[in-house]
Structure 1
Amino acid sequence: MKRENYSEVSEFIFQGFSSFQEHQITLFIVFFALYLLTLASNAIIVTIISVDHHLHTPMYFFLSMLSVSETLYTLIIVPEMLASLIGLNQPISLAGCATQMFFFITLAINNCFLLTTMGYDRYVAICNPLRYTVIMDKKMCTKLVCGACGIGLTVATVQIASVFRLPFCEAKIPHYFCDILPVMKLSCVDTSIHDIINFIISSLVIVVPMGLVFFSYILIISTILKITSAEGQKKAFATCASHITVVIIHYGCASIAYLKPKSENSRDQDQLISVTYTVFTPLLNPVVYTLRNKEIKEALLRAVGRKSLS
């Protein structure tokens, strides 16, 4: 039972990877290398898309916005995690924790809905190609990106208002950043209602965009199968392969992290799952699109060729 008489804390301390004391230096080297690779690869994606006029299309506009969002997402989490691995972590105030959680939630939800807008873009391109340039004009693309960000900001505001109204009597967060569930566990009062609210919100922001993406792909696949040319079918599938790969892994990790039963995993298992969507998933986007996307490869070769000539 939670204590009725308690003294509220004013700051938190991350316990980080304290269960892996003997491996912390190794983890630091691995995560730091992945972090640098994530920053560099996303920066390359954004730069190539901005400078190469061949990539000034809605699909690559959404991809560049996703890369920017993923980069900011890692910036608010990974440096703190790396500091904790080498013993440089400092206590974080309640305001600092709320700020980190706010931006984490905003960007995580923004990423989910950006993937949905990319699915809608592919749906229009394949199922309604003659009206594609009319439907997916600059105004529509801007509205979709702003809508994704707006949903993230709204949900984050509601979540922060809910979590940080709670009194806290424990200071040690059994995690490496201010995630919702680890912070709520520090409360001195019963959080059952908050747990239910958090599960409902998590379900909506994961299941709804995921459902929209997969529904759009049902329509896309049915349209592709009607194409008589085998080469046409292959080209249509190729334009969607990178996106659907990122979607499956992204929503899969999010579902495991936030929709699983509360007591199913241990603290160490929860941290490993968190590492997947805070360290590995942000790197997935540029790697998949670079390796599987012919136009990105050609743009990189053009950029390298121009640099060599100059």
Structure 2
Amino acid sequence: LEEMNYQESGNYTRVTEFVLLGLSTHPASQSALFWSLMFLYMVTLAGNGMIIFLVGVSSPLHTPMYFFLSNLSLLDLLFSTSAVPLIMVHSLQDFPTISYRSCFAQLTIRAFLVLAECFLLAIMAYDRFVAISAPLRYNLVMSSRVCAVLVLAAWMAALLLTVTPVLLLPISFCGHNTVNHFSCEVQAIFKLLCSNTTSLEVMMMVCAVTSMPVPLSFILISYLCILKAVLRIHPAEARLKAFSTCGSHLVVVTIYFGTLIYIYVRPQTKKVEDGDKIVSIFYAAVTPMLNPLIYALRNKDVKAALRRVTCGAKS
């Protein structure tokens, strides 16, 4: 396999395609993976699409919190679409291939969406902090203009951190083009590099520190301030109600950053384990599906908006 799909150019081998192993060594599991991903993807489309639609058509949901939630659903929808359909197609093939350009396009798009969601979750934590600590000034501080600027800043920062390493640091391969994964994951591709990876590792470390620890630290600080503000609220019922508005966001942050830390922060080895593939599937297919369920099932406003739309359709 490693001698396929590359061309000689001067003194080095130029890779033109990658071979994705996926479940090629476990053919009996390929069909089960396909139908599982099909179910998860359809639920992801329905759940996130419902959130975006309800926020758009329901005037009671035209608030900063639901504006950010609709952006989160859009990111989840795009992230799942950038990976899951391709994995489904490859799961039915033995040793599927993907072109060099398609592979890096997928890798870049997924990295951009991951970074954008990290920053957006930090913005949502700030939104909850303002809502609880300064409720009378909430509409002034989190105006429509401010919300739009914050979301645009999150998307632009993610784009900058994604494109910079790709443009500044050229990479080359040594002819090995077998990727032991379902898709073009950065860890699996990184193991095939033959060029000097020191500069790339430094750049990736800078981007990783900016994209994960900084937003996560901001979220933790925001929730410490929220906790301090909630403890000053009386009576206890009002205190519980104030903090319950943060519950869904806390669950999403825990799942999202917990998976990110497991995938990218732990020490990397030269061999891709099957456990890494399973976590990657969970990250690509399950996490985007859970977010709308977590918010919709716990949120009275979303359920009320869904009832209004449903009743209106029946009428």
TM-score interval for Structure 1 and Structure 2 normalised by the shorter chain: over 0.9
Of residues 85, 89, 92 in structure 2, which corresponds to 1:86? 92
Of residues 108, 124, 127 in structure 2, which corresponds to 1:118? 124
Native 8 Å contact 1:101 1:160 kept in 2: no
State the alpha-carbon separation in 2 of the partners of residues 168 and 110 from structure 1.
32
For 2:161, give the aligned amino acid: V
RMSD after superposition? 1.9
Q: Secondary structure at the match of 1:223?
A: helix
Alignment correspondent of 2:267 = 261
Q: Following TM superposition, by how much is the alpha carbon of 1:26 offset from its aligned partner in structure 2, in angstroms?
A: 0.8
Q: Following TM superposition, by how much is the alpha carbon of 1:75 offset from its aligned partner in structure 2, in angstroms?
A: 1.1
Alignment correspondent of 2:4 = none
Q: Following TM superposition, by how much is the alpha carbon of 1:18 offset from its aligned partner in structure 2, in angstroms?
A: 2.5
Question: Identity of paired residues, percent?
Answer: 35
Q: Following TM superposition, by how much is the alpha carbon of 1:192 offset from its aligned partner in structure 2, in angstroms?
A: 4.2
For 1:258, give the aligned amino acid: Y
Alignment correspondent of 1:42 = 48
The gaps in structure 1 that reach 5 residues or longer are none
State the alpha-carbon separation in 2 of the partners of residues 89 and 158 from structure 1.
32
Native 8 Å contact 1:199 1:258 kept in 2: no
Q: 1:168 to 1:287 in 2, by over 3 A?
A: farther
Q: Does 1:59 align with 2:59?
A: no
Of residues 221, 226, 243 in structure 2, which corresponds to 1:220? 226
Q: Following TM superposition, by how much is the alpha carbon of 1:189 offset from its aligned partner in structure 2, in angstroms?
A: 3.0
User: After the TM superposition, which residues 235-246 of structure 1 pair with which residues of structure 2 at under 5 Å, given as runs?
Assistant: 235-246=241-252
Q: Secondary structure at the match of 2:267?
A: coil
Q: Does 1:199 align with 2:205?
A: yes
TM-score (norm 1): 0.93
Alignment correspondent of 2:15 = 9
State the alpha-carbon separation in 2 of the partners of residues 187 and 169 from structure 1.
9
Native 8 Å contact 2:14 2:172 kept in 1: no
Of residues 257, 261, 280 in structure 1, which corresponds to 2:286? 280
State the alpha-carbon separation in 1 of the partners of residues 295 and 174 from structure 2.
43
Alignment correspondent of 1:21 = 27
Of residues 138, 142, 149 in structure 1, which corresponds to 2:155? 149
Native 8 Å contact 1:120 1:213 kept in 2: yes
Q: Secondary structure at the match of 2:15?
A: coil
Native 8 Å contact 1:98 1:164 kept in 2: no
TM-score (norm 2): 0.92
Q: Following TM superposition, by how much is the alpha carbon of 1:296 offset from its aligned partner in structure 2, in angstroms?
A: 0.9
Q: 1:178 to 1:281 in 2, by over 3 A?
A: same
